[in-house]
């Protein structure tokens, strides 16, 4: 089972991050955190890497029933969205929501995973204008 879904965008990093934030908001996700991985590695380890940010996105409508089913599920919520550069393109990756089901086996998470898949796919599709969400 793939654990991510991804799209590639023919745009610069800053534009990709802005578009991802907008696409997530259209699907009811708010970005609560932003981890600037590139800056952190440079500051803490003096290591260079491509532009790479982790957006901590949350959709309360999805998070609430998942956490009600099992508080530990917070570890598995499909909340992290990675945006990074890959050459002259941007790559956007999200956690495959079905991972919650695969790892927990909780039937109560099935509708949450299904709705999260629908919303995240819609966000990714809006970024490319096609049904381009894919693993890998």
Q: Per-residue pLDDT tens, the chain, 136 aa: give them.
A: 678 889 999 999 999 999 999 999 999 999 999 999 999 999 999 999 999 999 999 999 999 999 999 999 888 887 889 999 999 999 999 988 888 778 888 888 899 989 999 999 999 999 998 654 555 5
Provide the β-strand partners of residue 30: 58
Pairwise CA distance, residues 8 & 86, whole Å: 9
Pairwise CA distance, residues 91 & 13, whole Å: 9
Phi (first) and psi of residue 128, to 5 degrees? -105, -20
**pLDDT score recorded for residue 106:** 87
- Which CATH superfamily hosts domain 4-127? TT1751-like domain (3.30.310.70)
**pLDDT score recorded for residue 133:** 54
**pLDDT score recorded for residue 102:** 83
HSE-CB for 107 with a 13 A CA cutoff: 0
């Amino acid at each position: 089972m793939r654990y991510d879904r991804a799209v590639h965008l023919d745009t610069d990093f800053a534009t990709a991050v802005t578009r991802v934030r907008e696409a997530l908001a259209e699907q009811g996700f708010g970005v609560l955190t932003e981890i600037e991985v590139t800056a952190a590695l440079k500051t803490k380890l003096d290591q260079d890497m491509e532009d790479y940010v982790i957006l901590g996105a949350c959709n309360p409508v999805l998070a609430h029933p998942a956490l009600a089913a099992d508080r530990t599920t917070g570890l598995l919520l499909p909340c992290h969205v990675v945006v990074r550069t890959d050459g002259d393109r941007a790559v956007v990756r999200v956690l495959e929501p079905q991972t919650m089901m695969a790892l927990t086996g909780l039937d109560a998470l099935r509708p949450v995973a299904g709705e999260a898949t629908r919303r995240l796919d819609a966000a990714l599709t809006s970024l490319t204008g096609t049904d381009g969400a894919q693993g890998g």
